[in-house]
Amino acid sequence: MLNINIKKLEIKSNEKKLVDISFDMSTSTALIGESGSGKSLTLKALLNLLPSTLEINKDIDSNFELNYHTIGFIPQNPFTSLSTMTRIKNQFFCSDEKKEEVLNLVSLDKSVLKKFPSQLSGGQIQRVVIAIALSRDVKLLLLDEPTTALDEENKNNIIDLINEIKDRLNILILFVTHDINSIKTICENIIILKNGEIIEKGLTNDILSALKEDYTKRLINSTFKNKTFRT
């Protein structure tokens, strides 16, 4: 079973602590918290993509290597993660056989390979982005609110797809989301961040059935429908 033990993850900016957390992951985990609580910085730290102006202190154990090949990232806005002037087939870095295999996994026909992103729907583009991530030897998939830019129907389809991939490929998922239904569908565990610290963590069922902190209740109960979309 895959496991990551984040014994220490501390991120500072000019002596100001932005994130100071530790957690263990051996299953799909939702990372939730209000704006500015440290969700994106946590994902960026795992991807080694923190700006050099920030100071990072991390101590992470895992039973697989953490690198570009093993960590996949699905961003909030799939439209910005593909190159608009490049056909889909040239946005993968793998064999043609692998391209078809991963497109099959995300239920897309191989005919999309010839197309440009502008010829695909939002849901199809997000599927392509997921397929590109899966074309590497991904063992940890980081998702940053991957359905925010999608309409209701595509949103549900992508959630079902992520859930299916998780079960089929047996990979770890760290899922930043505000959407209670996707947490229930996909995540066995929840971590709740506030001001860069973990204030609650545990099994999704336990946390949802006994909401302890008012802060958590507020996060869980809000629909975030009016959240402005960042590009």
Nearest to 154 by CA among 123, 183, 109: 123
- Helix or strand or coil: residue 147? coil
How far apart are alpha carbons 109 and 91 in whole angstroms?
Answer: 16
Q: Which of 6, 39, 103, 123 binds ligand ATP (CB under 6 A)?
A: 39
- Helix or strand or coil: residue 108? coil
Q: Which of 4, 21, 30, 41 binds ligand ATP (CB under 6 A)?
A: 41
Question: Binders of ligand ATP: how many residues, by CB under 6 A?
Answer: 13
- Which residues within the stretch 8-37 sit at the binding site for ligand ATP (CB under 6 A)? 13, 18, 33, 35-37
CB of 33 to ligand ATP, least distance (A): 5
**Structural tokens at position 113:** 């390979």
CB of 36 to ligand ATP, least distance (A): 4
Residue with smaller CB distance to ligand ATP, 77 or 135? 77
Query: What is the dihedral sign for C-alpha 200, 206, 207, 213?
Result: negative
In contact, 207 and 180? CB cutoff 8 Å: no
Quick check: 40 binds ligand ATP (CB under 6 A)?
Answer: yes
Residues that bind ligand ATP (CB under 6 A): 13, 18, 33, 35-41, 51, 53-54
